[in-house]
Amino acid sequence: MEQKDLREWEARCIQEEPPACRAGCPLGLDAKGFVLAVRDDNLPGARAILEKSMPLAGLVARMCEAPCEQYCLRQSLGGSVAIGLLERMCINAVPAKTKFLRLPPRPKKVAVIGAGPSSLTVAFDLAKKGHPVTLFHLPGGPGSWLCKVPELVLSEGVLEEELQRLAGLGVNFCQVSVLGEALWTQDEFAAFYIGQDDEYVEGDLLKLGVPDSITFSLETERLFTGGLSVENHKYRFITDVSQGREAAVSIDRFLQGASLTAARVDLRHGKTNLYTSLDGLQREEVVVPADGLGYTKQEAIKEAARCINCECLECVKRCVYLKEFGAYPKTYARRVYNNSAIVKGNHQANKFINSCSLCGQCETVCPNDFSVATLCLDARRTMVQEDRMPGSAHWFALEEMRSARTEGALIRHAPGKDFSTSLFYPGCQLAGIRPQQTLRLYGYLQELDPATGLWLDCCGAPGHWAGRVQEFDEIMKELEEKWHEMGEPLVLTGCSTCLQMFREHLPQINVESVWVLLAEKPPESAKACAPMALSDPCTSRHDSKTQNAVRAMMEKIGQSLTPLPMSGELTECCGFGGLMQNSNPDLAKKVTAARVTQTSSDILTYCAMCRDQLARTGKPVAHVLDILFQDVAHPASEASPSISERRKNRRQLKSQVLSKYHGEQPKATEDWEAIALTMSPEVAEILEERRILEDDIRKVLFHVQQQGKVFVHGESGRKIASARLGQVTFWLQYTETDGSFMVESCWSHRMIIAGGSA
């Protein structure tokens, strides 16, 4: 990933866009942060947020007309959060900070003419930046129209206190009898601010002309102005303060010889790209202050609790994986970028990258189509290409794929035919998990069309998900060649993932889901069960045709379906997709558990992998085939087959097809296959968890029989043997009785033992 790509990724995630209230504040106040601090009874924290954005917070918080409230998303659900009242409560409750940080003094003097809100703002902002400021005011004292504000709204003491803060920042107050042109023609000042929210000599302001609407600079160099609101303007005070702030930014830039306009952020006037869902939000009325004037602390906390905490997180709130890593896609994109950019040190995002199920739900729910799947898959490909993909991350799934593509693979026309109108492609998971049902379904397809051939193979999805572009491309090429050799028939898949792989990577192949065909002609043996919730596999997300076909088929059969919230286009991964279960089994367990808790009904699915994965939680899960063919139905509560059984099932299915349909004697089994094993259920569970196949154990024992190398315990006589099989060394502790092996434990490691000496 290049830095340019990172920027593009980051720009897609809108989570850091400002909430509407902040976007609607002319000072850019973090209004949401402020309200949430009040809600959490953290008033000092709330005041600190006000001080951060407001000039003279004691004054601004009391006088601000709160234009932010007009953008509040709570508006239609009980009224906008009363941010203005909350600010006043907070500012009254928490004393001001006594010290302000002032930047080191700068040489050029600034004259601030007039003492209305805009001028006070300019004086405050520029004094904080270290500029020497002289504020010229009329004999009535600084404040202009603020001095006439009723005591109830702004007590005299407040203005006095704020003026003292200005003095504390080094602002020099200079009383003059009149405000007029003579003041902005003095030579000693490098810049002038003319605050029009005060009383001037008649006609003098007209000579100034109209200022630039962004920078508030006037045509005459050195002159800036603001405070232009008319007296009855709804947001008079805060608009003038905002104009003062913008002018202060310009004056600071002018004094430093910088551009007045470069990289200047325009006021947003409430506009933001942040998306916030209001789904499920209840109406709550605004809290009215009991005294009719202002909130008590308790009232304020109650009112602040109405804040809906605007944020997007559309993807994160639905995805266990995105939640697990504690952030959101914008941050994740940076982590992925850093992961590839670092030269030394740990690649800390490897786990994140390899844990994504690549299910694509995030992209579907994101208002901006951010695909974490694409981000992670690209990263995986780069890791493979740069030879830094952790060897253990996808190892077992890739071995499974390779096994299914060799010892489990078969492609044949129907018996007695030299062509196929269609080829049934059950997929390696259906073949491994439900071999008898696969055979039964194939039989039924032959009843419908005797020229239906069979293609047992793996579609290469694990290679694709693991980012192994070269290996996957080779698989696609092989599959295409085989399809050509078979006369280019229609391919009917029993697995949504296979269908997706064919459609996306071999578009020239005419492919369809077998469920679409069966929806037209369901077998007569089909029989409805108790109502179940239909879980669409994540690889069918954008395949509404298959999803609808399964539903239509169930309706025909009379099978009622209970609702499952995340279905169809919004469906969720079972925990296997994207090889999550290989790279992060603990997370996969959480994903699976979260999925099954979405319904109290039993689950029905048309993906063998989903059946296998979801059933591991103990939840009753049926496969569509259990409904279609009662004679070979499995109970929904049946445990999932082990990894060893799946391997064996694929081999046996292949043998059965060869003998049943083609009268061929299956190939002789490997020598090691005959080795007899026994083990307790606990040991079988350890094997499953450690992804050690019974085949591996047999191979180790066969190796021992050939090499004769074994460790024997001095007292118990139990043995330990090992063998390096591919990338892994397997160890086995066992006892041997009359040629039968009792497995006591088995473990493995990837490290290579280079040599040893005592």
Partner 1 sequence: MNLSFLPPDMNWTCEPCGEKLQPGIVELQYVGSVFKVELPVCPKCGKALISEDLAIGRMLEVELLLEDK
Where along the sequence are the contacts to partner 1 (CB under 8 A)? 345-348, 350-351, 390-393, 690, 708-715, 720, 722, 729, 731, 733, 745, 747-758
Encoding tokens for residue 77?
Answer: 């659900």
Measured between alpha carbons, how far is 97 from 76 in angstroms, rounded to an integer? 37
- Taking the complex as a whole, the smallest distance from the CB of residue 709 to partner 1 amounts, in Å, to 6
Evaluated on CA atoms 23, 24, 29, 31, the torsion sign reads negative
Judged by phi (left if over 0) then psi (alpha if -120 to 50, else beta), residue 561 lies in: beta
Q: Which is nearer to partner 1, 11 or 712 (CB)?
A: 712
Q: Which is nearer to partner 1, 365 or 376 (CB)?
A: 376
Burial readout 122-148 (b: 16 or more C-beta within 10 A, e: otherwise): bbbbbbbbbbbbbbbbbeeebbbbbee
- Taking the complex as a whole, the smallest distance from the CB of residue 756 to partner 1 amounts, in Å, to 3
Q: Which is nearer to partner 1, 275 or 731 (CB)?
A: 731
- Taking the complex as a whole, the smallest distance from the CB of residue 735 to partner 1 amounts, in Å, to 14
Judge whether 74 and 307 are in contact, CB under 8 Å: yes
Could you give the strand order of the β-sheet that contains 410-412, starting from the edge strand earlier in sequence?
Answer: 410-412, 452-456, 422-425, 490-493, 511-513
Place of tokens 């809108």: 14
- Taking the complex as a whole, the smallest distance from the CB of residue 387 to partner 1 amounts, in Å, to 10
Q: Which is nearer to partner 1, 282 or 346 (CB)?
A: 346
Measured between alpha carbons, how far is 236 from 216 in angstroms, rounded to an integer? 17
- Taking the complex as a whole, the smallest distance from the CB of residue 465 to partner 1 amounts, in Å, to 18
Q: Which is nearer to partner 1, 348 or 510 (CB)?
A: 348
Measured between alpha carbons, how far is 637 from 347 in angstroms, rounded to an integer? 41
Q: Which is nearer to partner 1, 184 or 352 (CB)?
A: 352
Distances (CA, A) of 468 to 388, 461, 476: 12, 10, 12
Distances (CA, A) of 313 to 274, 309, 436: 10, 11, 44
Cα–Cα–Cα angle for 45, 32, 213, rounded to 5 degrees: 110
Q: Which is nearer to partner 1, 210 or 754 (CB)?
A: 754
**713 contacts: CB under 8 Å, gap ≥ 6:** 719, 720
- Taking the complex as a whole, the smallest distance from the CB of residue 741 to partner 1 amounts, in Å, to 16
Q: At 5, which helix (H) or strand (E)?
A: helix 3-12
- Taking the complex as a whole, the smallest distance from the CB of residue 643 to partner 1 amounts, in Å, to 18
With the CA atoms of 239, 244, 247 and 249 taken in that order, what torsion angle do they form, in degrees rounded to the nearest 10?
Answer: -110
Cα–Cα–Cα angle for 378, 382, 383, rounded to 5 degrees: 115
- Taking the complex as a whole, the smallest distance from the CB of residue 582 to partner 1 amounts, in Å, to 13
Q: Which is nearer to partner 1, 455 or 730 (CB)?
A: 730
- Taking the complex as a whole, the smallest distance from the CB of residue 719 to partner 1 amounts, in Å, to 8
- Taking the complex as a whole, the smallest distance from the CB of residue 123 to partner 1 amounts, in Å, to 55
- Taking the complex as a whole, the smallest distance from the CB of residue 722 to partner 1 amounts, in Å, to 7
Measured between alpha carbons, how far is 564 from 607 in angstroms, rounded to an integer? 16
Q: Which is nearer to partner 1, 7 or 709 (CB)?
A: 709
Q: What is the DSSP letter of 734?
A: E
In 3D space, the residue among 363, 329, 352 whose CA is nearest the CA of residue 587 turns out to be: 352
Q: Which is nearer to partner 1, 120 or 683 (CB)?
A: 683
**495 contacts: CB under 8 Å, gap ≥ 6:** 425, 426, 427, 429, 430, 459, 607, 608, 609
Q: Which is nearer to partner 1, 3 or 757 (CB)?
A: 757
What one-character-per-residue DSSP string does 401-427 give? HHHHTTTT-EEEPPTT-S--SEEEE--
Name the CA radius of gyration of the chain, rounded.
37
- Taking the complex as a whole, the smallest distance from the CB of residue 708 to partner 1 amounts, in Å, to 6
How many C-beta neighbours within 10 Å does residue 275 have? 16
Measured between alpha carbons, how far is 171 from 56 in angstroms, rounded to an integer? 13
- Taking the complex as a whole, the smallest distance from the CB of residue 707 to partner 1 amounts, in Å, to 10
Q: Which is nearer to partner 1, 497 or 722 (CB)?
A: 722
Environment class of 207 (CB within 10 Å of its CB; exposed 0-12, middle 13-18, buried 19+): exposed
Q: Which is nearer to partner 1, 674 or 752 (CB)?
A: 752
- Taking the complex as a whole, the smallest distance from the CB of residue 585 to partner 1 amounts, in Å, to 13
- Taking the complex as a whole, the smallest distance from the CB of residue 583 to partner 1 amounts, in Å, to 11
Q: Which is nearer to partner 1, 290 or 712 (CB)?
A: 712
In 3D space, the residue among 258, 632, 653, 757 whose CA is nearest the CA of residue 430 turns out to be: 653
Measured between alpha carbons, how far is 52 from 67 in angstroms, rounded to an integer? 18
Measured between alpha carbons, how far is 27 from 235 in angstroms, rounded to an integer? 13
Q: Which is nearer to partner 1, 292 or 714 (CB)?
A: 714
